[in-house]
Amino acid sequence: MSKSVLITGAAGFLGSHLCDRFHKEGFKVLAMDNLITGNLKNIEHLFGKENFEFYHHDVSKYVHVSGELDYILHFASPASPIDYLKIPIQTLKVGSLGTHNLLGLAKAKNARMLIASTSEVYGDPMVHPQTEEYYGNVNPVGPRGVYDEAKRFQEAMTMAYHTYHGLETRIVRIFNTYGPRMRLNDGRVLPAFIGQALRGEDLTVFGDGSQTRSFCYVDDLIEGIYRLLFSDYAYPVNIGNPDEITISQFAEEIIKLTGTNQKVVYKPLPKDDPMQRQPNTDKAREILGWEAKVSRAEGLKITYEYFKSLSKDELFAKDHNNFEGYIKK
């Protein structure tokens, strides 16, 4: 009998890659997404396959799954700064109510649950690189607070179910990840730069470009998550690539990669945008035997090929999704 896994946010960037991995490993995959930011195109290749089911559902509402369930991976959440500003309440609800609903399901089914947390729990960090023991520097009432605090609450709620109910739980703190199926216009720096290069636009750097990011290729991240789920470790684990680069240097890399000759234009830095992002991945190495393997040059090449394959409509689309139906006037 195949083990079964419920993956929420299954039609999103990371969720869809998790569906692929678990399906390939022989699991019965129950994919769930309300499609507010996800795209069915990301998982349509799995439709009609044995051991794959899709449920169009918002996990902020009561979640029911019939039959046995062994694992839950909670990856449902808007995950880009544009989304937080457009749908702030939905972002908070999926991290709080959604997490509560799924923890209740995990308890009822005696399933192990892994939640997708984020490096955003560290806010604009005073400690560099960031270790799991660092509590963060977050502005709860700033524009990013709806995401940061939803994820911090999600961690606290998950740990409470672990300590109070003895539920098997795992927490992954995900640092910047990239690869095929990223939304081109989600507001994050990597798809933004590649999209601008492909459209022949200048590359926009916010701030003076001295802020840093560390980019992890999606296959490396999925491997880390897979190992964490089957480990015995219940506390948060950073998964990311510690290879740090400034945004200005990164813009130059993209120009070189795409063979375009755009200039870089500088605009004011958005409020609470973190100046440094670099994971300390010692725990992942010690506990999971995991480290990032794919170099940025290699990963960017694959990602660029993916973005090049998009249609003209997709390339020039100004908005990924219309959220009107989710916003009360």
Catalytic residue among 147, 161, 178, 226: 147
**CA 257 from centre of chain:** 24
Q: Evaluate whether 292 touches 242 at the Cβ level (below 8 Å).
A: yes
Burial of 230 from C-beta contacts in 10 A (0-12 / 13-18 / 19+): exposed
> What DSSP letter does each residue of 142-158 carry, written as one string?
STTHHHHHHHHHHHHHH
Q: Evaluate whether 27 touches 3 at the Cβ level (below 8 Å).
A: yes
Give the residue from 267, 224, 39 showing the smallest Cα distance to 114: 224
DSSP 313: H
Q: Is the dihedral of CA 110, 112, 117, 119 positive or negative?
A: positive
Q: How far apart are the first and last CA of the chain?
A: 49
Task: Indicate the length of the chain as a whole number.
Answer: 329
326 assigned to active site? no
DSSP 119: G
> Which residues does the annotation mark as catalytic?
147
